[in-house]
Structures are given as structure tokens and as C-alpha cells.
Amino acid sequence: TPYMDEAERADSVAFIHEGKLLLTGSPGAIRRSWDRKILEIFCDRNRAAMPVLSRFYPKGELQIFGDRVHLAMLQDGPEEDEVVRCLEDAGIRVKSSGPVRPRLENVFLSMIQKEAAVNG
């Protein structure tokens, strides 16, 4: 299925991108294998937040989901209050923020971003 919410309920999934098999396993095992934690941020200007967050934490992976930004950070990444302060210092109002459990979509997008960076 191309729908990640359906894939979350499957016993086993396979990530395929541009005809290439990237990963297989149970949804839980795939999420646990990912080395990132996610900070979900609701702010008044998502697109403007992206370059600010990129400069603040270059090791982060950024994903926009509608009215939210997901900052996927290494486990030893910055604290939530540091991220919020960075955005507010740039004139971006943060409505709310907090950690969220990684979803398959986060892992899949991360894999595609890494592959694009390697392959140009």
C-alpha cells in the first residue's frame, strides 16, 4: 500500500523507492531501528522555519506534515526549549511543540533524503 497509516497496521512492510527495495521488516522493528527522535513543532510559518532549523541543527532532518514541522534529531540532539528559542529569536512564533513517536513515514522520508544526498 502507498498509505503509511495502513502500513503501520501491517505485520510486515517493505520500503520501495524508484523500484529499489530499501528495507523490510515489521513496523515496530523498523521504527526501533531508526536512530532519531522527533520534535513536532506547530509554528506560524513552517516554510520560514525550515532554513532556520537547518542552520541551527545541521544534523537534523526536516519534514513538513501540513501545519507541523518534524525535526528528526540524533538522540543527543538539542533540547526542545533550545529549538523553540532558536525559532522565536528568528521571529517565528511557536504555537506548541513536543516529542512524538516516529512513524513509518518519518523513517521512509529519512531514507529517501539520505539516498538523495548521496546520489545527488
Instruction: Please give the share of the chain, as a percent, with pLDDT higher than 90.
Output: 70
For 6-31, the pLDDT digits (tens) are 888 999 999 998 899 999 999 999 99
Residue 56: closest CA among 34, 30, 84, 21? 84
Give the orientation angle of helix 80-89 with respect to helix 46-56, to 10 degrees.
120
Domains annotated for the chain, with CATH where assigned, are 35-101 (3.30.70.100)
For 36-72, the pLDDT digits (tens) are 999 999 999 999 999 999 999 999 999 998 889 999 9
Determine how β-strand 36-43 pairs with β-strand 20-25: unpaired
For residue 118, the model assigns a pLDDT of 77
Q: 92: which DSSP letter?
A: P
